[in-house]
Chain A
């Protein structure tokens, strides 16, 4: 079965710091990759997704992620975080071909200190 690893479960940064959250997956075939975010008191929202093409994808609120196939990675980045980025971030993979649901990582709880 495929798996998704998010290496940092809790991250604390100051405002204006740069962010990179790691995500690695185990499936070797074609995949679709997602980052979802859950702000306090809100539901899971799509931040960005990769289906094909340019491996550098841009999402909402200044976030971007890079798909590196050789490393089975899809790391999330933001050059300068804001207090409002405090949230839980989930990486997810869809491989299709019988694995019909998304496989999620355990999430990273990001706290931005003002």
Chain B
């Protein structure tokens, strides 16, 4: 089937505005991950879900960041009161296996490039 999709692909917003980034995983994939990638860096883990349950949000930078996956499929990453330092590429990945163990392969979407002015 189709790969992981993300929308929007690009988002420009003004400081202080809220943004919502969407991820649609590969059909049937159990786990879903969010990463953030600053310029010149590798992706950095934010949070992940098994089905609709958020398992680990230790990577979220602060309480302005939240994520949900209410029906165990599409996920939304929300950033409230955006700041310029939030500008980055936000990547989503999904995996067929129940996350938390090894031997799991994550497949990435195209990412959403966020620019906060």
Name A residues whose Cβ lies closer than 8 Å to a Cβ of B: 4, 30-32, 34, 36, 42-46, 49, 51-52, 90, 92, 94-96, 100-107
Contact flag A100-B42 (CB < 8 Å), given A36-B108, A94-B102: no
Determine whether the beta carbon of B43 is less than 8 Å from that of A100. Answer: no
In the bound complex, residues from chain B placing their C-beta under 8 Å from that of A30 are 102
Determine whether the beta carbon of A43 is less than 8 Å from that of B111. Answer: yes
By CB atoms of chain B within 10 A, which of A44, A49, A52, A92 has the most?
Answer: A44
Determine whether the beta carbon of A43 is less than 8 Å from that of B109. Answer: yes
Distance to closest chain A CB from B100 (angstroms): 6
Determine whether the beta carbon of B40 is less than 8 Å from that of A32. Answer: no
Question: A106 to B29, alpha carbons, bound, how many Å?
Answer: 27
Determine whether the beta carbon of B111 is less than 8 Å from that of A106. Answer: no
Question: A46 to B59, alpha carbons, bound, how many Å?
Answer: 23
In the bound complex, residues from chain B placing their C-beta under 8 Å from that of A34 are 105
In the bound complex, residues from chain B placing their C-beta under 8 Å from that of A107 are 40-42
- Measured CB to CB, the nearest residue on chain A to B106 is A102
The residue that B102 contacts in the complex, of A96, A104, A106, with Cβ under 8 A, is A96
Question: A4 to B42, alpha carbons, bound, how many Å?
Answer: 10
8 A-B contacts (beta carbon < 8 Å)? A31-B102, A32-B104, A43-B108, A45-B108, A96-B101, A101-B48, A101-B59, A102-B43
Determine whether the beta carbon of B99 is less than 8 Å from that of A100. Answer: yes
Contact flag A43-B110 (CB < 8 Å), given A90-B42, A101-B35: yes
Question: A45 to B85, alpha carbons, bound, how many Å?
Answer: 27
In the bound complex, residues from chain A placing their C-beta under 8 Å from that of B44 are 104
* B window 94-117: CB within 8 A of A: 99-111
Question: A15 to B69, alpha carbons, bound, how many Å?
Answer: 45
Contact flag A103-B45 (CB < 8 Å), given A43-B110, A43-B111, A44-B91: yes
